[in-house]
Structures are given as structure tokens and as C-alpha cells.
Structure 1
Amino acid sequence: MTFTFTALLCVGLTLGIGTQVLAGTLPKPILRIQPDSVVSEKATVTIVCEGTTGAKVYSLYKDGYKYLSPIEIPQNSIDKAEFTISNIEYHHAGRYSCQYQTRDGWSGHSEPLELVVTGVYRKPSLSALPSPAVNEGGKVTLQCASKEQYDRFVLIKKGQKKLSRMRNSQYKNSTRQFQALFSVGPVTSSQRWTFRCYSFNKNSPLVWSEPSDPLELLFSGTLHKPTIKAEPGSVIAIGSTVTISCQGTMDTEIYILHKEGSQKPWGTQTPEETENNAKFSIPFVTRQHVGQYRCYCYSLGGWSERSDTLELVVTGIHKGKPRLSALPRPMATSGRNITLQCISWERYDKLILTKEDQKFLSSMNSQYIHSIRQYQAYFSIDHITPDHKGTFRCYGYYKQAPQMWSVPSDPLEIHISGLSKKPSLLTHQGHIQDPGKNLTLQCLSDINYDRFALYKAGEDNPIQHYVWWSQADLSLANFSLGSVSTSTGGQYRCYGAHNLSSEWSASSDPLDILIAGQLFFTPSLSVKPNSTVYSGDNVTLLCQSTYKVDTFILSKDGAAHSTKRLKSKFQMWMFQAEFNMSAVSSMLSGTYRCYGSWDSSVYLLSNSSAPVELTVSGSIRPSNLPPSRPKPTADTENQDHTVENVIRMGFSVMILIVLGFLVFKAWGNQRQSQHAAEM
């Protein structure tokens, strides 16, 4: 222990409690303890005894006994003495008083002051029930608690209007802690309300524990409301960095960031003189950072209104990745509706759709779909506008943790198609393709588009190509799909756009690409009445199969138009479809083939039937000639032979039956004759 004196020391009288001193009419001295009467261990304390001019000696007493050597004051210099105690320890705690001596004698003792030494025991915790965020004029309950057993708790308010209260501790079984409750209020937003609490035992009431962490009450005052935002955004991947900024006014003295459910501020900052904002950085986001945040500002005028709520969401908590697709396609027409489908193998309670700029945010309950054994949700966007274009993602989460999301789906780009003229989409290689060949689709327009995009139904990402010009002043682009395989089959559309515009043209007409040879059977094709007819005649192409067929497809070699489809009918133990052509012309002459398909895979076809050649004469049938009868084909001849064979077999069976009956009857008559002769 070290004692430092600011005046010369002199030998004084050693006084005990019972020592008699001369007490006259001198005024009592005033005792002050600096910096405070509640100090922590290892601190330095100055005890000031203020008397009167002419005092020669000042004495300091602790618990009624003279504590330090008296201080002699040079004549007529100052009217006070300072006693300094450095490196405070618990035994310095006590009740202090002082007196002074003049030529007229000794003054009375000053009013006693208690010096409290803190930091001797473990600190308690201080919390506000239910929250440190309170309303103007309201009351709040503060709870001081500790797992250590103490007799009493002390609550102290920091500031000019210092508040100190004591409560006996009580043991609470539910929390297994000792605690005391303090009711505070009514509170106002014109000042700051910062509290700490301590604990102590009754056998040493001036020796306290360490102070609790400070607890500041937060208000929604009447001053300008600050603005809160998160950069780069409020939806942030786990492990990333996010900065929450709070912007107030130039006279703001302190910014406080508060997270809902927390008993202490998430951060506190004093702004620079030229700044009107504070930035709270979270360098490595974890699941503990999710939640709702608000910021508060305090200035000389009091508390501001609280900011709006910022909800911080952390993604990547759950590893089950959903999938996002657009129905019918991610190229939407202005004014129309579009549906986005989010699908997940993981059983999330909710699926949520977001847009890159967070202008669109929607969550839906997930539903289990038995046919695909997955969970899904549909998000409908009505009346598409250019504001809806952009990148969308979807996530999954559980209702008990709505701010902890899964990893995001792959991004889905939504494009808006306008009312400008639609381009054309075609292939010079035909609609029906054999596997292994290379396929190229061509998108072209007489509008001077700078780029084209090709979409396949069921796929979300387009194939984009810039334009090259043909000699016919057409803008066009070739899309090479590579070697044809099963996955090549589908419906395609293309769109055009200008480089300076984000809006795409109207869609081209759809182009179906069918893949032959993917089903095991081969249908047959025949012509009625026969394969050579006159212009104006009616012709029927009959496609048949003994195997199940849902739809028959008729194609003409080299034809630029779409193929024809008909649902099959089951007749005469055969699946079949009749393609009727009325009043044919020479333009219909050519080679025809037919294919079969199943509804489960409409773009995958059977093997091709044997080709059938249809010849249409350029002249009209003469009036004197009767309508031609069907010319037998190989299939019809086979059918006729089959019928003849069946008839012949029928007659043979009948003859055998009759002969058998006659033989049996003759044998019976013979047996009767023999029996009569024996009689």
C-alpha cells in the first residue's frame, strides 16, 4: 500500500475513538471521494477534506479511527487537504470522515462517506424483462442474478442522476440462481439509462463483486428516425462478411445496434465529427447472427425514433439444395402470367423465392408430391412487367428457424418478351431425326435483331448467339445442338433482341424435334384406294401396329411443314389411325412414312414404317373412268391370303367332322348287326 500526500506531513496526535478533542463552533469539513465512492481493486482514490482558510492540520478517519498521518497546511495557503490511496484493496473499504484544526481548536467530524471496493467476487448478470427496449414513460423490471450465493444485490444507474438500490437475494429453482428484481420507472427518452449491478455478503457490506456488464435501456423517442441497411444484402451466405449501417443526423452522439432477444447492444459507436452514420461489421457470419436488428440514436436532444427492422437471413445452413424452374418457360410475355416451381428432396416446411434485388420475396408451404417423391411449391407472378426480369433463386427452411435457409438453388434468369415481330425457327434437316447425326436449328427474322436466344421446353437456361447477316437482308443465327441423342428431343422456340434493349421479341412458333428408333416396334403404312391417283381424288393413309401405340405420326420426306399426328384407335385386333387427304393435288406427291409414340414420351418415336410412294397425277380423273379400286399392296395381299387360308381350313375341318360322323355311324350299325346274329 502506498500513501501520497499533496501537502507537507507533520506529526499529529494519534487519536482513538475515546480521545477527547477540543470542539468549538468551527464549521464541519466536507468530505469528497474522487473519482467515485465505488471503485474497483487496484484503482487509485483521492479523499478530499475541505475545511476553511486558516486550518493548520487535517486528519482522516476510517471507521472512527485515525487512518492516515495528519497533514499540516502552510499558513493561509489553501482550505483543503487531499489524501491519496493507490492500489486499492478490499481492506480499504469502510466509512471515512475527516476534521481540521485551527488556532481556535478542532472542528467537528465531517459527514461520513462509504468507500466501496468492487471486483472481489465474480460478477453477476443484469437483464431487462422482457427486453431493454422500452416506451416513453414506461416501467421496466431489471433482474440481477448469479449462480454464486450472495446475500444482497445492488443496482446502480450511471449518470448525473445517480440511482442506487439494494435488494435481498432470493433463490429461484427454475434457473438455479440467486437473484433480485428491481422495478425502474417511469423512464424518459430525454436521458440515457445505463445500469450495472453488484452482489455482496452482509458480513462485509462494502466489499462487492465485479460489476455486471452494462445494460442500457433503448427508447423510441421523438427525434429523426435513423435508416438501417445491410451490405451487400440482408440475405447472406454463411461465412461471408456483412456490414450493417445506421444513418442518423450530424448531432448524433452515439449509435446503438440492437438485436431482438439480446440483453445487450450488438454494437455501440461514437461517430466522427464529420460523419452522420455508423457501420457495424460482422466479418464471419454464422447462425448466431440471424435475427431482427434495429438501430437507435442518442443526441443532446434525447433519443431518436427507432429504425425500421432489418431481418438478417443466413443461407447455406442446410445442405439440401432445391431446384427452381419456370412454367411454361423462363421467357415470359409482358402482361401475361408465369409460374415458378421450387422442388426439393429435403422435407423443408417452407420454400421461399427471392429475386437478386430483393424486390420480390415470397414463401409458401411445401407440399409432398407422390408422383415425383419430392416436396414442391408454386409461385405465381401475375401480369409480368419489365420490373420482374432478373435472377431468381429459391431456398428451403424449417418453421422453427425461419431465418436459417438452405443453400440456394441454381439461379434462374427470367426474360421478358415484348410485342415486336416474332422470328422464325426452322431446321433444314427435318423434324424427325435419327440418333448420331448432327443437328442445327436456325432462327431468322427480317427485323434487324442483334442477338437471338434459343429455349427448349423444360430447360431454364437459353443458348444465346449473336447475329450474322444473310444476302437476303435477314438477321439469323445458327444453333448447333451437336450429335442427336435421346435428350435432343423436345420443343424449341427462339427470340430476338437488340443490344440496347433488355426486352426480347415475341416467341417464334414452336418447333418439335422428334427422335426415331427409340421404341422397339415398327408400324406399317398403306394407301387407299391406291398409291397412284388423280388430282381431286380422296386418299387415306392407314398406319397400323400390333403393339400398343398412343399416337401415330405421319411424315413426308423433305417436307418443310410440321408432321401430322393422330390418336390411335384399337380395331380388328390392331392399333391404327387413318390420315385422310381430300381433293389431293400434285403437291402431295412424295414418299411417306409413319411412326408410333407413347404419351409418356411424346418426342421419342418407334422405328419408321416401310416408305410408301404416293403419286398424284396433275390431271383430273376423266368422267368416263370409274373411281379406281384399291391396288393391292404387299400388306393387303398378305391379309387376303390369310383370310383365304382361314376359310380353307374351316372347310377342311367341317369335312373331317362330317366324315368322322359317317364312319362312327357305320361302325355302330355294324355292331348292331353282329349282336343280332349272335342272338
Structure 2
Amino acid sequence: MTLGLRIPGLAGAFPKPILRIQPDSVVYKQTTVTFLCEGTTEVKECHLYKDGYQYLRTTEIPQNPRDKTEFSISKNRPSRSREIQLSILDPSDSLELVVTGIYGKPSLSVQPSPVVSEGSLLTFQCFSVKQYDRFVLTKKGPQKLSWMLDSKYNYSTQQYQAVFSVGPVTSSQRWTFRCYNFNKNSPLLWSEPSEPLELLFSGTLHKPTIKAEPGSVITSGSPMDIWCQGTLYAEIYVLHKDGSQKPWGTQIPQKPENKAKFSISNVTYQLAGQYHCYSYSLEDWSEHSDTLELVVTEIYNIKPRLTALPRPMVNSGGNMTLQCVSRERYDKFILTKEDQKFLSSLDSQYIHNIRQYQALFSIDHVAPDHKGTFRCYGYYRQTPQLWSVPSDPLEIHISGLSKKPSLLTHQGHILDPGKHLTLQCCSDINYDRFALNKLGGADFIQCDGQWTQAGLSLANFTLGLVSNSTIGQYRCYGKHNLSSEWSASSDPLAILITGQFPVKPSLSAKPNSTVHSGDNVTLLCQSPYKVDTFILSKEGGAHKSQQLKAKFQVWESQAEFSMSTVTSELSGTYRCYASEDSSLYVLSYASAPVELTVQGEVTLNSQVSEKQDYTLQNLIRMGFAGMIFIVLGILVFEAWCIQRQSQCAAGK
């Protein structure tokens, strides 16, 4: 178009006008465009020409102080994008009006990164899956720049592209780029602009701090905030995700704290990654902050299992191993404490006997700081910030050197299914609290201590009916309220369940079930089936069972429990059970009982009683003898008297 000023007179009677466009010479479709004719003093008419033909005419006298005439075109259409000119006989220089938004937008990227340093040389790549003749790269800002290149087909990416070299760049201005594409037959009709790409300068100002709330390990679908805090002079904060071609977001700082909040209402897997933030002031860009690694969990649904070896109660200064196991073939496992990374991730290893994958995290020289809640996760090597659902929490406790309590069961430790089980933890130390833990279990059952008149403190742990879920090895601990450490552990107590596989061994006594004190006796446990272990138990909760590996001889398994120099304390009712190594706490049915009787033992009390009986018998014997002597004496005396009387009568 040509914009002309027409009045009667000779050519050149007025100076050449200047043609300008507002808001810009490159505008989006449907945008209202205003043409300004400057330097038109005393002009009566102005004409706007498009490609040499009159397009608009005005007869208004300019009223603005700078002698401008305005021509407005509303809802600009693509067909109106042409060369526009202003003329008063001597026309103005031509001005091109470009309309964008005609085609689909291309994509824009920069190498090596949109985070740059002063004086960097950069390579911009503008690309599109559709074929266009040319690409245009533009820089937004007070100092506008543009570059134009023919498109070329990239066989590796199967896209059309143009590669622009830009630089050196300086931090004295903000660098925001877009790119467009167009065809040669309509060079003033451009596509939609690409997404803006702004360069971030790692400057010399003090780096800001970055943190995530509630934490950097966040569940998928949860809300979170990322905070960036810098100096008092920061004008704007920019959050950048590594690998992204544009800033994640920009915020104006909140006064007076001078920090910015980037809110995320719904965390998705796309947000996982490493983040930095920058601040910009009138002086310069700041250095980038430390790295914030955002991890999104519950991306994979197979939950690993976390256990403590040998148990989740460990002595202060001792060593502990945390085992993370999963049936899913994750590449790596990672351990967290209080939802924060605790140890570096470990490669998973396949364990053939359990047919699962695991990692073992070793913690040496355990300190009180190690107590707390632990979890483990699995993830794949190519997506290190996308984790599985967490394992169940594992509470780690630290035990000290105070005296260990005792763990008892009044029902015995070998129980039939369905029996009620209660374990009692007691101590002559006045512990305020007791805890019970099952080997391999993550949970601690805690109870307040009770005091007896005998000076004992104790707690009863009711575990309910005996089943496969309650059997196992237990330990208990005591603690004072003013201490953060638990006592040393009690001796282990194994709870076994009977009748869990169809084997019933037999039990016999050799040489006999009735023996004399000091003799030797052997209780022989046998089974026609091959088993791994035999267990001999005596009735009564206080008695400890004996366990022997089975020997397979003459088509049967057997074990000999030998007792030498027996005493009456060994008298009682015995039974034996069979077990397999794969199920240590699961027993067979009980054998028929054998009653062992020990005879002939003399005790100190019986010796005293026998002496008393002997003395009494002697006294009785002596009494009888004395009475006999008295009677005989009386008889002898009477006989003597009769004899004297006869002699006296004969003498008269």
C-alpha cells in the first residue's frame, strides 16, 4: 500500500512524510492496526495506498501536537497484508505489515541450554512436522532482532527445520525468542508463533535459596509449593526445570520477605525433575540456586516391603541392615527417612530362593539420630524421579545398655491353633513403658508398665488367637519416660503352632519310662516321613523345649534326646513334634505322650524324716522293753515272796 497526501501544488512542496504502524509491523490476525502519518503540517487530505492503489482517504486536519494523521484497520485479515506506503506527491518509504497466526505453530529449542552465561554463543533450532519454505527467528524487546533461513528436511527427526546461530548474548537485556514459518508465495503471512523461549543468565549476584513444601518427595496428585528467596533488591524470580526450553514460571517477590511462591495444585509425573531458581534485579541476574530435585511417588503400583535385619530395635553403636524387597523388577531401590532421602539408591538384585528383587541398605555405628520412620521405593533407571508407592513405614528404635527384661508366656510356647496367647514382659527395674516386637515385623506394640507389690514392673501383651500370623520369635524392651532409648532386648521367645502338616511322630523311652535317680534315659522321636527337625517338649510353661536335627535311617526319620544322671525334676509328661526348615515355627501334630518317672532319689528332707521315724521307733521299743522288765520283776518278786512264806511256815 502507498499512503499519500494530496493537495494542489507541485511535487515536493511538502517534506516526505513518515509512515509508522501501531502496535507493530508484525501482528496477529484479527488485531486492530493503526497507521500514523507524521510530518503532515497544513495538509488537508491524506491517502493510504496498498500496492500502488488507494486504500483509505481522510480529509481531517491533524489535531495532535505532533502533526500525525491516523488510519485504523480493524480485524485485519490476511489479504490485507501487503506493502503500505505514505505519499504527498513524493511518497513515503514503504512499510511491510506482516500478519501471523495463519498456520500451525512451529517448535523452538536452544542448545546447549536456555540457562546461559555472559557472552555465550547459542544455537536455536526452529522445526515443524509440516513443510514450509522458510523460518523466521525473532527477538522481543527494545532491541528487536530477526533472522530468516530456508527450511531443510532432517531425515533423523523426520521434520523440517532451520538452525540459527545467535550471540554473543549479554545480561544487560532480557532475551525472549519466538519463531515462525511461512511460504515463499505469501511471505507476509506467517504461522502461529512458537512458545516463547527466554534466556536465563547465571550472573554474579548472590544465589537465592530454593525449597519445597511439604517436601521434595511428593505423592502424585498432591498440592505443593516451591519457594525461592533472594536478596532485598530482587525484582523478579524465575523458576527453571532442567531440560526444559523455557522457564517453568516467573513471580514478583512478596514483600517484605523478598521471596516468591510457585504453587502447584496437582503434582503430576511431568513435573518430576531438577529445578533451579534465579532472581533478577536492576544490577544483574543472580547465580542459580542449589538444585531442588522433585520426586513424584505412587507412579508404579507394586509396593516394596521394608524389614530390619535382624530387628528394628538396634543397640546404640551397633550395625543394622534394612532390606527392601519387591516382586516387581525395579532397576533401583531407595531408602527415605521422614520422607527425605536417607541413603543413595542401590541396584536391585534378584534373589532366586524367594524369587524377588531386593537391595540391602547397611547402617554402621547406629546413633540416636537414626531412630525414626523409614520407607523404601522402587524406580527405573531412565526415570529416576518417578518412584513407586512406598513400602509400609518401618519404625526404627534405638536400645541402650540398661538391664534387659524377661519375656514369658503362661500358656507355653508350643500351642494348638485357636488358643489365646498372652505374652508378659517383666523386670525388677521400674520401667514406665514396655514394647514387644516380632522378628521380621515392622511394628512395635507398646504398653504402659504396671507395678506389683513384689517390686516388679510388667506389661501384658494380648495377641489373640494363635494362628500362622501370630507365630514367630518375639523380644521385649523396657524404657523410662525420661529416656529416648529402650533397654537391651529380652531373650528371644519363639511361639510355635502345632498340627500344620499331616505328620504325627512317635515317642518312646529307652530303656524304660520308669527309671531310678542317677540313671541315663533316652527319649526317641521317630517319623516314617522325612522331616528336618524334631522338637521335644515337656508340659509346663516354664520348661524349655529341646531341638535336634533329624537323621534319616532305615526309611524313617529319628532323633535321640539323651538325658544322663536323671533326677526327679525330669519327671513329667513329654511329647515330640516334627518341623521343616522352610517353616521354623510350624509344627506337626503332637506324638502320643510319654510319662517319665524317676524313682529312688533321697533328699535331705526325707533323711531328716527317716531319722525322726527311727528315733521314735527306738523310743517305742525301749518303752516296751522297760514294761516287760517291770512285769518280770513283779512276777519274780511275787514268786520270791511266796517261797519265803513257805519257808517260814516250815520253820515254825
TM-score, normalising length: structure 2:
0.81
Residue 495 of structure 1: CA displacement?
0.8
Residue 551 of structure 1: CA displacement?
4.8
Aligned residue among 603, 606, 609 for 1:618: 603
Residue 328 of structure 1: CA displacement?
1.0
Match of 1:23 in 2: 12
Aligned residue among 268, 282, 285 for 1:303: 285
Q: Do residues 525 (structure 1) and 509 (structure 2) align?
A: yes
Q: Do residues 48 (structure 1) and 30 (structure 2) align?
A: no
Aligned residue among 81, 85, 89 for 1:93: 81
Residue 21 of structure 1: CA displacement?
3.3
Match of 2:159 in 1: 177
Q: Cα distance 1:65–1:184, how it changes in 2: closer, same or farther (>3 A)?
A: same
Residue identity opposite 1:401 in structure 2: T
Q: Give the match's secondary structure for 1:387.
A: helix
Match of 1:321 in 2: 303
Larger mean CA deviation between 540-549 and 419-428 belongs to 540-549
Q: Cα distance 1:158–1:183, how it changes in 2: closer, same or farther (>3 A)?
A: same
Correspondences of 1:571-590 after superposition (within 5 Å)? 575-581=558-564, 588=569, 590=571
| Residues 516-564 of structure 1 deviation map (CA, whole Å, 9 limit, x = unaligned) | 565411222346896232xxx4644443436566555455544735344
Aligned residue among 456, 459, 463 for 1:474: 456
Q: Cα distance 1:608–1:469, how it changes in 2: closer, same or farther (>3 A)?
A: farther
Q: Do residues 13 (structure 1) and 2 (structure 2) align?
A: no
Match of 1:457 in 2: 439
Residue 164 of structure 1: CA displacement?
1.6
CA contact (8 A) 1:343 1:376 kept: yes
User: What is the CA–CA distance in structure 2 between the aligned matches of 1:177 and 1:434, rounded to whole Å?
Assistant: 74
Residue 329 of structure 1: CA displacement?
1.0
Larger mean CA deviation between 159-168 and 597-606 belongs to 597-606
CA contact (8 A) 2:567 2:598 kept: no
Larger mean CA deviation between 523-532 and 222-231 belongs to 523-532
Q: Do residues 353 (structure 1) and 342 (structure 2) align?
A: no
Match of 1:237 in 2: 219
Q: Do residues 168 (structure 1) and 150 (structure 2) align?
A: yes
| Residues 461-506 of structure 1 deviation map (CA, whole Å, 9 limit, x = unaligned) | 2222122221123221011233334554432210112345442221
Residue identity opposite 2:200 in structure 1: L
Q: Cα distance 1:569–1:133, how it changes in 2: closer, same or farther (>3 A)?
A: same
Aligned residue among 184, 191, 196 for 1:209: 191
Match of 2:574 in 1: 593
CA contact (8 A) 1:529 1:539 kept: no
Match of 1:253 in 2: 235
Residue identity opposite 1:339 in structure 2: T
Residue 181 of structure 1: CA displacement?
1.5
Match of 1:127 in 2: 109
Q: Give the match's secondary structure for 2:270.
A: helix
User: What is the CA–CA distance in structure 2 between the aligned matches of 1:287 and 1:265, rounded to whole Å?
Assistant: 18
| Residues 323-356 of structure 1 deviation map (CA, whole Å, 9 limit, x = unaligned) | 2211111111111111122222222222222222
CA contact (8 A) 2:335 2:341 kept: no
Correspondences of 1:145-544 after superposition (within 5 Å)? 145-274=127-256, 276-485=258-467, 487-515=469-497, 519-526=503-510, 531-533=515-517, 537=518, 539-544=520-525
CA contact (8 A) 1:171 1:178 kept: yes
User: What is the CA–CA distance in structure 2 between the aligned matches of 1:235 and 1:74, rounded to whole Å?
Assistant: 65
Residue identity opposite 1:86 in structure 2: I
Residue identity opposite 1:525 in structure 2: A
Residue identity opposite 2:572 in structure 1: T
Residue 577 of structure 1: CA displacement?
2.8
Residue 157 of structure 1: CA displacement?
0.8
Residue identity opposite 2:95 in structure 1: L
Q: Cα distance 1:617–1:271, how it changes in 2: closer, same or farther (>3 A)?
A: same
Match of 1:39 in 2: 27
Match of 2:627 in 1: none
Equivalenced residue count is: 594
Q: Cα distance 1:244–1:354, how it changes in 2: closer, same or farther (>3 A)?
A: same
| Residues 180-228 of structure 1 deviation map (CA, whole Å, 9 limit, x = unaligned) | 2211111123321101122333344333333222111122222222222
User: What is the CA–CA distance in structure 2 between the aligned matches of 1:602 and 1:202, rounded to whole Å?
Assistant: 83
User: What is the CA–CA distance in structure 1 between the aligned matches of 2:7 and 2:103, rounded to whole Å?
Assistant: 35
Residue identity opposite 2:598 in structure 1: L
User: What is the CA–CA distance in structure 2 between the aligned matches of 1:609 and 1:429, rounded to whole Å?
Assistant: 18
Residue 413 of structure 1: CA displacement?
1.4
Q: Give the match's secondary structure for 2:239.
A: strand
Q: Cα distance 1:411–1:529, how it changes in 2: closer, same or farther (>3 A)?
A: closer
CA contact (8 A) 1:170 1:178 kept: yes
Aligned residue among 103, 121, 144 for 1:139: 121
| Residues 98-124 of structure 1 deviation map (CA, whole Å, 9 limit, x = unaligned) | 467xxxxx8x65544333333333332
Larger mean CA deviation between 507-516 and 328-337 belongs to 507-516
Which residues of structure 2 form unaligned runs of 5+?
608-652
CA contact (8 A) 1:435 1:484 kept: yes
User: What is the CA–CA distance in structure 2 between the aligned matches of 1:431 and 1:272, rounded to whole Å?
Assistant: 66
Q: Give the match's secondary structure for 2:524.
A: strand
Residue identity opposite 1:264 in structure 2: K
CA contact (8 A) 2:299 2:388 kept: yes
Residue identity opposite 1:138 in structure 2: S
User: What is the CA–CA distance in structure 2 between the aligned matches of 1:12 and 1:513, rounded to whole Å?
Assistant: 108
User: What is the CA–CA distance in structure 2 between the aligned matches of 1:477 and 1:511, rounded to whole Å?
Assistant: 16
Q: Cα distance 1:81–1:91, how it changes in 2: closer, same or farther (>3 A)?
A: farther
Residue 68 of structure 1: CA displacement?
4.0
CA contact (8 A) 1:125 1:145 kept: yes
Residue 304 of structure 1: CA displacement?
1.6
Q: Cα distance 1:558–1:251, how it changes in 2: closer, same or farther (>3 A)?
A: same
| Residues 219-242 of structure 1 deviation map (CA, whole Å, 9 limit, x = unaligned) | 222222222222222222232223
CA contact (8 A) 1:528 1:539 kept: no
Residue 425 of structure 1: CA displacement?
1.4
Larger mean CA deviation between 565-574 and 81-90 belongs to 565-574
Q: Cα distance 1:205–1:525, how it changes in 2: closer, same or farther (>3 A)?
A: same
Residue 452 of structure 1: CA displacement?
1.0
Residue identity opposite 1:45 in structure 2: V
User: What is the CA–CA distance in structure 2 between the aligned matches of 1:74 and 1:424, rounded to whole Å?
Assistant: 105
Q: Cα distance 1:617–1:182, how it changes in 2: closer, same or farther (>3 A)?
A: same
Residue 127 of structure 1: CA displacement?
1.8
Residue 594 of structure 1: CA displacement?
5.0
Residue identity opposite 1:80 in structure 2: D
CA contact (8 A) 1:44 1:84 kept: no
Larger mean CA deviation between 604-613 and 385-394 belongs to 604-613
User: What is the CA–CA distance in structure 2 between the aligned matches of 1:189 and 1:74, rounded to whole Å?
Assistant: 42
Residue identity opposite 2:34 in structure 1: T
CA contact (8 A) 1:49 1:58 kept: no
Q: Cα distance 1:41–1:599, how it changes in 2: closer, same or farther (>3 A)?
A: closer
CA contact (8 A) 2:322 2:362 kept: yes
| Residues 369-409 of structure 1 deviation map (CA, whole Å, 9 limit, x = unaligned) | 22222222222111111222122222222223333322222
Residue 93 of structure 1: CA displacement?
3.4
